[in-house]
A and B are shown apart, each in its own frame.
Chain A
Amino acid sequence: SAVISQKPSRDICQRGTSLTIQCQVDSQVTMMFWYRQQPGQSLTLIATANQGSEATYESGFVIDKFPISRPNLTFSTLTVSNMSPEDSSIYLCSVDRQGYGYTFGSGTRLTVV
């Protein structure tokens, strides 16, 4: 399957700070997706990131809180800004690659204290 590397794998952050999560794919992809998985819950799409254009955010998610960068076809970042304990979740990036299907990174487990 497509190799997707996410960094960091986990972090504990103070409230009010920001964390940037990186997602690196082993080949070029048009679309990259960012999801949030709150404890014990399903996956909720945050936004879709296309290279060269602004990310498209889902209802309930805004750019000021979750800015996304997509500088090239193999890389994206998601920043969780001004964090509160409610932001404690697993954040996952995913890509849809021909022949590999819709695959996920191993996720970033964020705890906000």
Chain B
Amino acid sequence: GQQLNQSPQSMFIQEGEDVSMNCTSSSIFNTWLWYKQEPGEGPVLLIALYKAGELTSNGRLTAQFGITRKDSFLNISASIPSDVGIYFCAGLIPTSGTYKYIFGTGTRLKVLA
């Protein structure tokens, strides 16, 4: 079945540094979503991407929908301690008459003050 692989698995960075993470698949997706999950909470939607090549920002976060439609990237600029969490990508899969989202393996981010 389809799988979404995220890298890196985890990263430790200094406050103020920029962060890059990506999500790749062997399958084509029509929609990519990026989420952040903090301990004890459900994932919170950060950015949604709907078109190949699309570049979308949300504050310090920028995400891109890869041209091949098999990958997506998330960048965080000037990281701050509250950026700590697990970041998940998700891709939309059409199914018979409906759809579903599958989630990537996650990137665990820790920010050192």
Counting CB contacts under 8 A, is A61 at the interface? no
Compute the total of residue contacts between A and B using a CB distance below 8 Å: 49
Task: Scan B16-42; emit 1 where CB is below 8 A from any A CB, else 0.
Answer: 000000000000000001000000111
Counting CB contacts under 8 A, is B74 at the interface? no
Interface size, chain B (Cβ < 8 Å)? 20
Chain B residues, Cβ within 8 Å of A44: 103
A101-B90 Cα distance, complex, nearest whole Å: 12
Tier of interface size on chain A: 20 to 34
Cross-chain contact B98 with A48 (CB below 8 angstroms): yes
Q: Which 5 A-B pairs have the closest CB atoms?
A: A104-B42, A43-B103, A101-B45, A42-B103, A107-B42
Residues of A whose CB lies within 8 Å of any CB of B are: 1, 4, 31, 33, 42-45, 48, 50, 56, 58-59, 92, 94, 101-107, 109
